[in-house]
């Protein structure tokens, strides 16, 4: 298709969408003749399947953005404001004689707390490094809010904290292996889904093409059998044919009437399905232009296999599944035995009755802790989880290996089908021409009473089958070609890889 036709097609599609949206103002019906490429372009632009594919990719895109954010610093504010507490508790009192006693006291306080943290995940170790600053104010009251006894401030101007699981799984390391593969697979899956939209558009296009062709054939056969029936009536009246031939001619005419009614119904049904797929309503009448020829494309099996292995999202999915199975084994092993979490913190803090005093001459603050978890008796649960994960990993490896073989065999079959289809189409085109010539010759001979009505019906049936086969083989050609495009994400006619602006897609 040249650039002018593409431009006209795009303008037509725009006007079409504008006009069909205003059905309340106009009941006019708009008719458009569309080529195969125009139907594919419209389907990829506005069909529900294409819109679904776009939103599926956008979801994968934002998932990948979230993954990358795990490697960037985050600023977090946490706080507590206000926090009232009123309770009776025992207060420790030292008596004059040195003895200690506890007396009940009504405690009424309000706490306000705020903390800023800058957190950074450490991919190499899987730990988290935090830079913090916080301030707490505590007001104590006696009886009511009007009787404030004291106010104190506790500040931590700065502290650095590092948290690390000593024997656990480094999830960041595994994410770094898996998430980029998932995102790249999402890109390829989008291209694959769009090729699937094209294949569906091709199917609906040629369903309508077959229905159009069948209607033309049915109309031709109806008028032709009407004429032949009238001729048979005349011949019967003068005694040149018997009643059996007349009845056979009448039966052919009635069959032609029935076929015409069915063809009209099938045409409307095929139009509705294509119209719905393209996002049009009943105000739009669609007629398609059947391609007269196919491009000459000879596929090399080696090239197609190489492109399929390089570009197919299936290959990335295989790799991701193997890595995920390996991660599951590592997680099972890490959760089986001795667990330890390390937390180190260093900073400065101070307490004062005034806000300014809480930041004067702060003291050192250091903490170090290791939390332990040691399974003593788990009745083999940990070992069982490891064995199950290992078994699943081996099963996944076997499944992936088989799926890779099946994928390669599918590519080989598709290439063989396509390379054979060019000859099949040429045979169908030749058979269509020959059957039409035979029909014309038989009709002429019937009109001069040289052949029987049976010969005439046979010639008509052969012509109808050849016409239908031509459209079928044309459909098969384009279906096989776009299926190979879907497997390889490569346009062999233009000799270039399929691509799309993914940044534009997510805007």
* 204 shares its domain with 82: no
pLDDT digits (tens, 9 = 90+) for 447-456: 777 777 677 7
The β-bridge partners of 93 are 101
* CA–CA separation, 42 and 275 (whole Å): 11
Is 2 a domain residue?
A: no
DSSP string across 110-154: EEEEEEEEEEEEETTTTEEEEEEEEEEEEEEEESEEEEEEEEEEE
Q: What tens digit of pLDDT does each residue of 212-234 get? A: 888 888 888 888 788 878 888 88
| 330 within domain boundaries | no
Based on the domain organization, do 163 and 190 belong to the same domain? no
Q: How confident is the model at residue 84 (pLDDT cuts 50, 70, 90)?
A: low
* pLDDT tens for each residue of 293-313: 888 888 999 999 999 999 999
Q: Which tokens sit at 137?
A: 């104010």
Burial class (CB in 10 A: 0-12, 13-18, 19+), 435: buried
Measured CA to CA, the distance from residue 216 to residue 264 in angstroms comes to 10
Structural domain count, the chain: 2
Q: What is the mean pLDDT of residues 207-211?
A: 92
Residue 36 and residue 93 in one domain: no
* Residue 327 confidence class, pLDDT cut points 50, 70, 90: very high
- Both 49 and 140 in one domain: the answer is no
Res. 102 pLDDT band, cuts 50 70 90? low
Whether 202 and 92 share a structural domain: no
- 492 Cβ contact partners less than 8 Å away, ≥ 6 residues apart: 297, 299, 481, 484, 485
Q: Are the C-beta atoms of residues 300 and 495 closer than 8 Å to each other?
A: no
CA separation for the pair 481, 298 (Å, rounded): 11
Q: Do 184 and 115 have their domain in common?
A: no
DSSP assigned state of 362: P
Q: Is 352 inside any structural domain?
A: yes
pLDDT digits (tens, 9 = 90+) for 112-135: 999 999 999 999 899 999 999 999
Residues 85 and 142 in one domain: yes
- Are 51 and 150 in a shared domain? no
Same domain, 293 and 344: no
Does one domain contain both 53 and 139?
Answer: no
Outline where 160-242 has alpha helix (H).
Answer: 171-237
Task: Please indicate, yes or no, if residue 328 is contained in any of the structural domains.
Answer: no
pLDDT of residue 47: 92
Please check whether residue 382 lies inside any domain of the structure: no
CA–CA gap between residue 276 and residue 269 (Å, rounded): 11
Asked whether residue 81 falls in the same domain as residue 227, the answer is no
Work out the pLDDT band at 459, boundaries 50, 70, 90.
Answer: confident
Closest CA to 345 of 129, 153, 154: 129
Report the CATH number at residue 188. Answer: 1.20.1600.10
In this predicted structure, what is the pLDDT of residue 273? 93
pLDDT at 252 over 80: yes
Q: Does residue 379 fall inside a structural domain? A: no
Q: Is there a contact between 164 and 233 (Cβ–Cβ < 8 Å)?
A: no
- What is the per-residue burial (b if ≥16 Cβ within 10 Å, else e) of 294-325? beeeebeeeebbebbeebbbbbbbbebbbebb
Would you say residue 21 lies in a domain? Answer: no
**Residue range of the domain that includes 107:** 75-122+127-168+338-374
Residue 11 lies in a domain: no
Average pLDDT of the chain to the nearest whole number:
85
Strand 100-122 to 127-142 pairing: antiparallel
DSSP code at position 376: S
Same domain, yes or no: 342 and 409: no
Nearest to 287 by CA among 474, 29, 23, 472: 29
């Amino acid at each position: 298709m040249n650039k002018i036709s593409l431009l006209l097609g795009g303008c037509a599609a725009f006007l079409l969408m504008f006009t069909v949206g205003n059905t309340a103002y106009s009941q006019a019906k708009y008719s458009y003749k569309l080529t195969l490429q125009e139907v594919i372009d419209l389907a990829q632009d506005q069909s529900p399947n294409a819109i679904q594919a776009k939103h599926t990719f956008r979801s994968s895109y934002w998932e990948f953005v979230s993954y990358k954010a795990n490697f960037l610093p985050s600023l977090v504010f946490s706080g507590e404001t206000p926090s009232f507490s009123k309770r009776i508790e025992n207060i420790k009192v030292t008596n004059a004689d040195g003895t200690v006693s506890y007396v009940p006291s009504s405690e009424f306080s309000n706490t306000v707390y705020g903390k800023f943290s800058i957190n950074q995940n450490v991919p190499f170790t899987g730990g988290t490094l935090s830079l913090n600053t916080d301030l707490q104010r505590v007001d104590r009251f006696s009886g009511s809010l009007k009787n404030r006894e004291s106010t104190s401030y506790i500040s931590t101007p700065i502290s650095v904290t590092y948290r690390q699981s000593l024997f656990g799984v480094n999830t960041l390391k595994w994410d770094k292996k898996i998430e980029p593969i998932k995102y790249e697979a999402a890109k390829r899956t989008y291209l694959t889904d769009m090729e699937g939209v094209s294949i569906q558009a091709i199917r609906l296009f040629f369903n309508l093409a077959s229905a159009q062709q069948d209607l033309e054939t049915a109309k031709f056969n109806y008028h032709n059998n009407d004429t032949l029936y009238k001729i048979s009536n005349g011949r019967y009246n003068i005694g040149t044919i018997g009643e059996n031939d007349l009845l056979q001619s009448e039966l052919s005419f009635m069959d032609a009437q029935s076929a015409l009614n069915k063809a009209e119904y099938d045409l409307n049904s095929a139009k509705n399905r294509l119209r719905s797929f393209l996002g049009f309503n009943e105000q739009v009448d669609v007629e398609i232009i059947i391609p007269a020829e196919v491009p000459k494309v000879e596929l090399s099996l080696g090239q197609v296999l190489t492109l399929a292995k390089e570009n197919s999202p299936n290959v990335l999915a295989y790799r991701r599944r193997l890595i995920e199975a390996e991660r599951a084994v590592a997680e099972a092993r890490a959760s089986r035995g001795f667990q330890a979490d390390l937390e180190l913190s260093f900073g400065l803090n101070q307490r004062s009755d005034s806000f300014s005093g809480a930041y004067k001459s702060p003291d050192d603050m250091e903490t170090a802790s290791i939390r332990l978890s040691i399974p003593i008796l788990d009745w083999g649960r940990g070992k069982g989880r490891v064995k199950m994960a290992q078994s699943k990993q081996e099963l996944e490896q076997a499944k992936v290996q088989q799926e890779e073989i099946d994928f390669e065999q599918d590519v080989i079959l598709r290439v063989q089908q396509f390379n054979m289809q060019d000859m099949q189409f040429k045979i169908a085109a030749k058979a269509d021409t020959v059957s039409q010539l035979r029909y014309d010759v038989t009709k002429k001979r019937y009109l001069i009473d040289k052949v029987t009505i049976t010969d005439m019906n046979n010639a008509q049936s052969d012509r109808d089958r050849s016409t239908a086969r031509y459209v079928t083989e044309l459909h098969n050609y384009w279906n096989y070609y776009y299926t190979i495009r879907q497997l390889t994400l490569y346009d062999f006619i233009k000799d270039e890889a399929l691509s799309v602006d993914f940044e534009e897609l997510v805007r």
